[in-house]
Structure 1
Amino acid sequence: MRFLFLLVCSSVVSSLAFSQAQTEYMTQTTRDRINFTNLNISNNPTLFSIKGQAGQLIGSPYLDTTWQAGNVKFYNKLGVSLTADSLAGVPVRLDLSANEVEIRAGEKNIKAVKATAVRYVDVNNLFGTVSRYINVHEYQGDAQALTGFFEQLAMGKLDLLLHPSVYIRRANYNVALNTGTKDDELMKKQDWYVARDKQATKFSPGKKAILELMADKKEQMEAFLKMEKPDLKSRVGLLAVFSFYNKL
């Protein structure tokens, strides 16, 4: 019996010693393969992905990256004067992400002011005219949930307003398939609004919506739409419709 016990103990000790030696051998073998032959890992897309640079935020936050000559009207007086509340003929641009108006005072001197401190900005646009961007808080209704500025396209009985903004389109990278992008991207969007007596309402352009909105001049508007056939999804077409209505 004692002999059997000693035999079992000897077997256990030998097994542990072999296991330790095997582990050390495997560790050394793996190290040698990495150091001298480059460890070859199969390309299994369900398990491994290709390591690359982390994603970043791309895209521009500016309505227009180009500096444009403009006039800025503030709510309060400027510190340099007790009467002046505006700047004229200064290079400006709108940062839609930070909700700021940037003013370039020199090559490397850029001032930023929160949109909430600016009543409106008149700035040259890409259409060869001047656009007025007025603080959304000059309006009520749906405007109260917004930040930034409305571009005023038509003024009168009905104001036609365009609200520019940016949002982040999140990365859609698929690790398993190694497809898509790791980058978040700033995307621009513009929403239409109309206002009567400063009460702004979000607006989805279309013939039915326009005739309902302008029901007090429905016959004249129907004739105008039939004759002129304006593109009701375009800036030019809507401007023509609202300008005509406001003259009636």
Structure 2
Amino acid sequence: MLIKKRILTLAILTFIQFPNLYAQIPTLNPFFFGDSSKESKVTPSNLTSIGKYYSDTNWNAGNLFLNNGDSLVAYYMRYDLVRNHVEIIIDTKIKAINGSFIDSLEWFSIGRLRPEKYLNKKITSLRNEADISGFTEILCDGKIKLYKCKMVFAPRQATSPTLVNDTDSEVQVLEKYYYEKSGELFEIANSKKRNLNFLDTKGLDGFIKQENLKFSNERDLIEIAEFVNSK
């Protein structure tokens, strides 16, 4: 019993002294920039297995911004929706960085040929949305912000899913879109009237009719947000 107590005490002291195991990683990916003296303090972990559900299954080169002020530039990465961590290739090895250490990330999507940016839910007005975890893509920024959120869930737990992409017999990926105005968050609804009332922009209804835009189409949602931001 005495030995067990000593082991437990040693484990507690070790945890107190080393709450996080940091590593110094080159800020600039040596593959693109060569050797650099600048390093970032990162808390990576080894992967026990590869995930299945990602915001994008491709490995995209991008930048990761940590909440300690450091960053990793031009690394290949992808975001695991279920585990809420970023898989990142560091020195030919795949590591994971938990979402709690990250403020935002951005990459150039090789599949969609466009830059994409993701924000930690905690630094957006989405922080109180219980069914959204981790990161959300920001599709449009300005007076009106447009967020795209992906959630993985079991079908038996779902309630009135709207836009569903990847599916199999066990889980589904649900997409939700939100507008934000003056700190107020609004989940885009099927009701055109409700959406127009929230956006409250002169000439918007006529613009939507003229361009034949729909609140159920992502590209149209971006055009609508850009129109509002231009006013």
TM-score normalised according to structure 1 size: 0.62
Is the Cα contact below 8 Å between 1:72 and 1:118 reproduced in 2?
yes
TM-score normalised according to structure 2 size: 0.66
**1:118 matches 2:110:** no
Q: Distance in 2 between matches of 1:129 and 1:159?
A: 18
Secondary structure, aligned partner of 1:241:
helix
Unaligned 5+ runs, structure 2: 1-50, 157-167
**1:162 matches 2:153:** no
Q: Which protein is richer in helix relative to its size?
A: 1
Q: Distance in 2 between matches of 1:169 and 1:110?
A: 31
| Offset at residue 198 of structure 1 (A) | 3.4
| Offset at residue 184 of structure 1 (A) | 5.6
Q: Which protein is richer in strand relative to its size?
A: 2
Is the Cα contact below 8 Å between 2:119 and 2:137 reproduced in 1?
yes
Counterpart of 1:43?
none
Out of 82, 86, 92, the position equivalent to 2:71 is 86
- Matched ranges for 1:211-230 at <5 A: 211-215=196-200, 217-218=201-202, 220-230=203-213
Is the Cα contact below 8 Å between 2:120 and 2:136 reproduced in 1?
yes
| Offset at residue 61 of structure 1 (A) | 1.6
Kindly report the root-mean-square deviation, in angstroms, between the aligned alpha carbons of the 2 structures: 2.1
Alignment deviations for residues 218-240 of structure 1 (CA, whole Å, 9 cap, x no partner): 4x101101211113211111111
Alignment deviations for residues 140-159 of structure 1 (CA, whole Å, 9 cap, x no partner): 36645332111111111111
Question: More relative contact order in 1 or in 2 (CA 8 Å, sep 6+)?
Answer: 1
Aligned residue-pair number: 168
Q: Distance in 2 between matches of 1:63 and 1:213?
A: 28
Counterpart of 1:72?
64
Distance 1:239 1:135, change over 3 A: same
**1:150 matches 2:136:** yes
Counterpart of 1:129?
114
Identity of aligned residues (%): 28
| Offset at residue 167 of structure 1 (A) | 1.3
Secondary structure, aligned partner of 2:77:
strand
